[in-house]
C-alpha cells in the first residue's frame, strides 16, 4: 500500500485535477495492473506501487508534457529511502522507470522497470486507446485476456 504521508505529499505537489485522466484513479489502476503482472513475473512490488503513484505526479498539463517523467525522477531523488520505504537500488529502478516511461529511452531488460511501463500502458482505455500487445514488454501483459481485463477496468468511471 501507499502510505498516507506519501499520498499527502503527492496531493500537495500535484498541479492538475486530482480526479483527472492523469490523477489518482489512473494511479490506482496502474498499481493494480502492475501488481498483477508482478505476481506472475516476480517484479518488485514496492517499486511498482511507487511508480504507479509517482510517474505522472509532476505533469504540468494533461496533454503534451514530454519532460514530466524526468521531473518525477528528480522529485523522487530528493526523497529519503526511509520515506519511500525502499533501498537505494530500488530507488534507482524507480527513478529510471519514471524518467523513461514515455520515451522508453532506457534500453533495459529489468523486469521491474518493464512491468512498470506495461502497467501504465494497460490503462490507455481511459483516453480511448486499446492497448496493443506489440507495445507491451512482459509476456504476462501481452496476453489478450489480460489486456482485455485491464481495458475494461480503465474505461470504468472512477
Ligand atoms: Fe500514466
pLDDT in tens, 24-67: 999 999 999 999 999 999 999 999 999 999 999 999 999 999 99
Q: What is the pLDDT of residues 133-154, one digit of tens each?
A: 999 999 999 999 999 999 999 9
The domain locations on the chain are: 4-154
Nearest to 34 by CA among 130, 152, 150, 156: 150
Cell of 36: 498483477
- CA–centroid distance, 53 to ligand 1, in Å, is 9
pLDDT at 133: 96
| Residue-wise pLDDT tens digits, 71-106 | 999 999 999 999 999 999 999 999 999 999 988 776
Please write down the HEC assignment for all residues of 88-133. HHHHHHHHHHHHCCCCCCCCCCCHHHHHHHHHHHCCHHHHCCCCCH
CA count, 13 A, side-chain hemisphere, 42: 1
pTM over 0.85: yes
In angstroms, the CA 110 to CA 113 distance is 5
Q: From the CA of 56, how far away is ligand 1's center (Å)?
A: 5
- Measured in Å, residue 54 CA sits from the centre of ligand 1 at 9
**Scanning the structure block, which residue is given the C-alpha cell 523522487?**
76
Q: Which CATH architecture has domain 4-154?
A: Orthogonal Bundle (1.10)
Angle, helix 4-13 to helix 45-54, in steps of 10 degrees: 30
Surrounding residues of ion ligand 1, Cβ less than 5 A: 56, 120
Amino acid at each position: 500500500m501507499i502510505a498516507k504521508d506519501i499520498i499527502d505529499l503527492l496531493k500537495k505537489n500535484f498541479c492538475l485535477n486530482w480526479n483527472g485522466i492523469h490523477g489518482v484513479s489512473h494511479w490506482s489502476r496502474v498499481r493494480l495492473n502492475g501488481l498483477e503482472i508482478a505476481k506472475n513475473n516476480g517484479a518488485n512490488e514496492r517499486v511498482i506501487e511507487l511508480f504507479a503513484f509517482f510517474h505522472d505526479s509532476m505533469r504540468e498539463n494533461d496533454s503534451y508534457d514530454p519532460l514530466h517523467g524526468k521531473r518525477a525522477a528528480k522529485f523522487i531523488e530528493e526523497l529519503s529511502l526511509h520515506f519511500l520505504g525502499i533501498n537505494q537500488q530500488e530507488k534507482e529502478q524507480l527513478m529510471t522507470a519514471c524518467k523513461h516511461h514515455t520515451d522508453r529511452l532506457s534500453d533495459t531488460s529489468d523486469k521491474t522497470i518493464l512491468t512498470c511501463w506495461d502497467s501504465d500502458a494497460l490503462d490507455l482505455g481511459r483516453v480511448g486507446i486499446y492497448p496493443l500487445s506489440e507495445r507491451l514488454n512482459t509476456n504476462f501483459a501481452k496476453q489478450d485476456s489480460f489486456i482485455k481485463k485491464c481495458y475494461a477496468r480503465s474505461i470504468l468511471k472512477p
